[in-house]
Structure 1
Amino acid sequence: MRHPKKTRLLPLFPSILLLGLALSRLSLAQRGQPIKTIVVLVLENRSFDHMLGWMKRSINPNINGVTGRECNPVSTNKTDPGMICFTDDAEFVDPDPGHSFEAVQQQVFGSGTVPTMTGFVEQALTMSQDLSETVMKGFRPESVPVYATLASEFAVFDRWFSSIPGPTQPNRLFVYSATSHGSTSHVKKLLAKGFPQKTIFDSLHENGMNFGIYYQNVPNTLFYRNLRKLKYILKFHQYDLKFKKDARDGKLPSLTVIEPRYFDLKGMPGNDDHPSHDVANGQKLVKEVYETLRGSPQWNETLLIITYDEHGGFYDHVETPYVNVPNPDGNTGPAPYFFKFDRLGVRVPTIMVSPWIKKGTEMHGLARLKRL
């Protein structure tokens, strides 16, 4: 692939800071920086090791992936437990592994008080005997060929953690508002009412900048109460009708959000990667988004962020950060845990794509974009 003049990517950040990234990038764009359009695609419920871990072996040895020596005990309480080790034969996943707040607590801490990432098998066994091996499998690069290509050509982030050690919706709330407003689980009443916090969309609107949400069956972003306001109604577009046209016409907004298909429809299977959806459909979506952007006149000013909301219960070997993680808003989670939002969740796959990114970049820490 050909690239124009590039920037250097210095070590990056967890997903809680996506809000700051987008605002700073778009602000700098007004002062002559190259990135003027940020496209965000957040998929569902897969860990870094599960999707990208084996790319260390054949794509880039500098990626903090797996070696095949990573194992989990059947029980974290026994002195001589059996072990299940991580393999490269992941396939279609059904049923869905555990990823509630309680499940993640067990996966990360086991029977201890510091993150050891040794409780995945033990937690899976509380749900199903079959899941104990499922959570300890990752995809070979050839099984996720779109990611294999993007990882070799652009940037992989191997220290990008979900915002909280819990399920989908609280983590998705963090992506565009840097808070879940105290939520650590799926509370249907709160989701129906809508969460009240200010979002990046509000900030962009206040600063005279544009955004657009391209959805496939339902826009998850409507769980933010503010986005239900009449003034934002024209910001929502059906993906199949509008995304390719806007990209072709060079009219993608400054912040472009792609919402995947969260549910199976007749002839249109879910493509969000959430088990039991086939990751092949997620790969098709990523490929389509990438190729659409490559063909757009906006390509040379675009940054595509592909990431996941949380790990979905799948094993990852990198210890979850739990020291000096700031509470974003002073909220505390509900009983019985009264979570202080002072530690992150499990590591998730994140790839960034732009003609300004050096080929084969791997990011291991906290960072910013910088011109050479």
Structure 2
Amino acid sequence: MENRSFDHMLGWMKPNLGLPFDGLTGEECNHRNVYDPASPTICVSPTAQYVDPDPDHSFEAIRFQVFASDNASSPPTMSGFVQDALTLSEETAAAVMQGFPPAKLPVYATLASEFAVFDRWFSSLPGPTQPNRLFVYSATSHGDTSHNKKHLIQGYPQRTIFDSIRDEGRDFAVYATSLPTTLFYRNLRKLKYVFKFHRFSTFAKHAARGDLKTLSVLEPRYFDLFGKEANDDHPSHDVANGQWVVKEVYEALRASPMWNQSLLIITYDEHGGFYDHVPTPNVGIPSPDGIVGPEPFFFNFDRLGVRVPTIMVSPWIKKGTVVSRPNGPTPTSEYEHSSIPATIKKIFNLSSDFLTQRDAWAGTFDNVYSELTSPRTDCPELLPVVPPLRVTELNENRRISEFQSELVQLAAALNGDHHMIDSGVIEGMSVKEADAYVNHAVARFFKASKEAIRKGADGNEIVDLTTNISSRSHNNFTAMSRVSFLGCHVETVKTDEPSRSTWQPAPARPPHQTHDRCDVLRALVVTVEGSLDPATLAEGSHNPSVAAAEVSCDPAITIEGSHAPTQVFPEVGGVAAADVGDVAGWTVDVSAAAEDGADAEGPEVPGEMLGGSFAAKAA
């Protein structure tokens, strides 16, 4: 899950539920000005609601939140949260000190009472999302303290716990809705791992038939759309939706024949800028691999990040368990994200070495489920229903967050659209546009990878879908209809000629959106496959079997390769083929796509984006 601190989510369960963990008392406060002890304070309160916008949680901001100064060698005071948040707004300063009462998070309240809460689980470094996520499965961020676009494109090179599991003849599965962020690891992009990825909804089916693997990773929905609301807990997403997805996973696992052999871990990547009162550990913490962080901070990875919520669920866990410090393996060991690969290595007796010095040091939690002699039979079968917290209307046309732009960058890297990553196009996308692009790009990556496997490619290879503007490859590994550019605003209209549809530019962009994404279109080529000779559809041209294309920011779209007369583009300007049909008066046949997607293993995406062909006839 995303971007919430322990105190923000679970701190108020101590006084309200009587759970004996290190939570809040109500007396914790931060001064508005850390340099003036007489300045007013803002204190914690159980009044958290829907949070928007996102508090700052960059490496630099976290340093001030923790130390209340620029001196990271002093003892952590956890007193700089308010002053840091005031650089954004008064509302943000109040929000970072607020926590949720148990009634607002009834799923967590139930699980905390029924199973185990870790009250000293820290993020692996005092930094943002992606570096901390990397620690979860590789015990290092490969020296990154922020999002690194170079490593993004190439894929992070370090060994992961997935590799260790596979080397022992065991198996794993990744279930994702938007896209699997585990694809930030280069190894996970290899063909041999393609069939390890599944749609999120498949988890319940696998659980029901007792087909869960040694390790199952579940990734929530990251984009907030009408009818498909985000459930990752990242502000500005409603945490009620996060409660629902945890409820869904728990109930599927509880009903599974594998329930008595399972351990469910719920944790967060980092604190998201929200207050926590427990000082971050900064003594005796080893660098994972000796790689020093980038300038200007040259971080040595010798201190942990802020405490985050972590709950573990199993019928082998005593009711109301609280886990604090680990019992080794060193006197300074703590629970942090590297504890996950460390524990997996231990409980499955994996023969491979530790991934880094960090998971060799991190505490393991195998003792949490070892105190009972038989599994409990009194675990709840269902969890509470959760009402929404957001009272404002969802806005899927808002600009994407920094975290979401990183996901789109990952999708662009997988799709070979490297030119998009530094173009400014992605940062200007709306949530709806970004989700459409990600779905299309990830589906294309998986489809091309499976095609490569069918053609006998080596399992250690990675499909390269890089766009070559001057000479597009048309081998079997990249043969799929696609439009490289999704950002240009277009709309479809029905003309007098039933076999012709014109794509025209939408109204002018709002003044604050200064980057014209149509600029990028001039450098791109639209490629399709089929049996039609290569052709150029210039403004005003017309082919009886193919719709004409008219885009104001570039009068011609080049079609390279070959194209069946009945095929249409799967995506144009962020509008799905089915939507084009609705608006333009075309009937779109996606039966081929649906058939392909029926047994496809990959992220959950619309059926029309899974297929390689889209038949269209005039309505």
Normalised TM-score (structure 2): 0.53
1:107-122 matches, within 5 Å, as: 107-111=65-69, 113-122=74-83
Match for 2:14: what amino acid?
K
Q: Secondary structure at the match of 1:87?
A: coil
Given candidates 198, 208, 212, the residue that maps to 2:173 is 212
The runs of 4+ residues in structure 1 deviating greater than 3 Å are none
Q: Confirm or deny: 8 A CA contact 2:208 2:256 kept in the other structure.
A: yes
Aligned to 1:190: 151
Aligned to 1:156: 117
Deviation of 1:126 (Å):
1.3
Using the alignment, how far apart are the partners of 1:264 and 1:358 within structure 2? 37
Using the alignment, how far apart are the partners of 1:221 and 1:173 within structure 2? 8
Q: Does 1:180 align with 2:141?
A: yes
Q: Secondary structure at the match of 2:131?
A: helix
Q: Does 1:56 align with 2:14?
A: yes
Q: Confirm or deny: 8 A CA contact 1:60 1:152 kept in the other structure.
A: no
Match for 2:177: what amino acid?
Q
Aligned to 1:131: 92
RMSD: 1.0
Q: Secondary structure at the match of 1:84?
A: strand
Deviation of 1:264 (Å):
1.8
Using the alignment, how far apart are the partners of 2:234 and 2:371 within structure 1? 37
Deviation of 1:81 (Å):
1.4
Q: Which runs of 5+ in 2 are unaligned?
A: 328-365, 373-619
Using the alignment, how far apart are the partners of 1:188 and 1:147 within structure 2? 35
Using the alignment, how far apart are the partners of 1:343 and 1:94 within structure 2? 29
Match for 2:275: what amino acid?
Y
Match for 2:12: what amino acid?
W
Using the alignment, how far apart are the partners of 1:356 and 1:61 within structure 2? 19
Normalised TM-score (structure 1): 0.87
Q: Confirm or deny: 8 A CA contact 2:200 2:218 kept in the other structure.
A: yes
Q: Confirm or deny: 8 A CA contact 2:107 2:243 kept in the other structure.
A: yes
Q: Does 1:301 align with 2:261?
A: yes
Deviation of 1:60 (Å):
3.1
Using the alignment, how far apart are the partners of 2:118 and 2:287 within structure 1? 23
Using the alignment, how far apart are the partners of 1:215 and 1:151 within structure 2? 25
Deviations, residues 180-222 of structure 1 (Å, cap 9, x unaligned): 0000001223222210000000000111010000001110100
Aligned to 2:216: 256
Using the alignment, how far apart are the partners of 1:97 and 1:55 within structure 2? 23
Q: Does 1:350 align with 2:330?
A: no
Q: Does 1:203 align with 2:161?
A: no
Match for 1:334: what amino acid?
P
Using the alignment, how far apart are the partners of 1:99 and 1:57 within structure 2? 28
Given candidates 41, 44, 52, the residue that maps to 2:2 is 44
Given candidates 82, 103, 112, the residue that maps to 2:61 is 103
Using the alignment, how far apart are the partners of 2:371 and 2:92 within structure 1? 46
Deviations, residues 330-359 of structure 1 (Å, cap 9, x unaligned): 111000000000000000000000000000
Match for 1:135: what amino acid?
V
After superposing the two structures, state which structure 1 stretch, 169-178 or 261-270, moved more: 261-270
Deviations, residues 236-279 of structure 1 (Å, cap 9, x unaligned): 00012x11110000001110000111112341011000000000
Deviation of 1:371 (Å):
4.5
Q: Secondary structure at the match of 1:118?
A: coil
Q: Confirm or deny: 8 A CA contact 1:59 1:151 kept in the other structure.
A: no
Using the alignment, how far apart are the partners of 2:19 and 2:111 within structure 1? 15
Match for 2:173: what amino acid?
G
Deviation of 1:127 (Å):
1.8
Using the alignment, how far apart are the partners of 1:80 and 1:210 within structure 2? 58
Q: Secondary structure at the match of 1:130?
A: helix
Q: Confirm or deny: 8 A CA contact 1:47 1:312 kept in the other structure.
A: yes
Using the alignment, how far apart are the partners of 1:331 and 1:211 within structure 2? 29
Using the alignment, how far apart are the partners of 2:21 and 2:185 within structure 1? 35
Using the alignment, how far apart are the partners of 1:214 and 1:227 within structure 2? 14
Deviations, residues 266-298 of structure 1 (Å, cap 9, x unaligned): 410110000000000000000000000000000
Given candidates 306, 311, 319, the residue that maps to 1:359 is 319
Q: Confirm or deny: 8 A CA contact 2:19 2:320 kept in the other structure.
A: no
Q: Does 1:336 align with 2:308?
A: no
Using the alignment, how far apart are the partners of 1:202 and 1:136 within structure 2? 40
Q: Secondary structure at the match of 2:121?
A: coil
Q: Confirm or deny: 8 A CA contact 2:231 2:241 kept in the other structure.
A: yes
Q: Confirm or deny: 8 A CA contact 1:97 1:124 kept in the other structure.
A: yes
After superposing the two structures, state which structure 1 stretch, 123-132 or 205-214, moved more: 123-132
Q: Confirm or deny: 8 A CA contact 2:318 2:371 kept in the other structure.
A: no
Q: Does 1:232 align with 2:190?
A: no
Match for 2:37: what amino acid?
T
Deviations, residues 306-327 of structure 1 (Å, cap 9, x unaligned): 0000000000000000011111
Match for 1:60: what amino acid?
G
1:254-293 matches, within 5 Å, as: 254-293=214-253
Describe the shift of the 1:156–1:110 C-alpha distance in structure 2 as closer, same or farther (beyond 3 A).
same
Q: Which runs of 5+ in 1 are unaligned?
A: 1-42
Match for 1:268: what amino acid?
K
Match for 1:281: what amino acid?
N
Q: Secondary structure at the match of 2:183?
A: helix
Using the alignment, how far apart are the partners of 1:101 and 1:193 within structure 2? 23
* Number of equivalenced pairs: 329
Using the alignment, how far apart are the partners of 2:107 and 2:244 within structure 1? 8
Aligned to 1:247: 207
After superposing the two structures, state which structure 1 stretch, 45-54 or 56-65, moved more: 56-65
Using the alignment, how far apart are the partners of 1:302 and 1:59 within structure 2? 26
Which structure exhibits the higher relative contact order, with contacts defined as CA atoms closer than 8 Å and separated by 6 or more residues?
1
Q: Confirm or deny: 8 A CA contact 1:167 1:184 kept in the other structure.
A: yes
Given candidates 12, 29, 39, the residue that maps to 1:71 is 29
Q: Secondary structure at the match of 2:42?
A: strand
Given candidates 120, 131, 149, the residue that maps to 1:170 is 131
Identical-residue share of aligned pairs (%)? 64
Q: Secondary structure at the match of 1:342?
A: coil
Given candidates 278, 283, 293, the residue that maps to 1:318 is 278
Using the alignment, how far apart are the partners of 1:218 and 1:330 within structure 2? 31
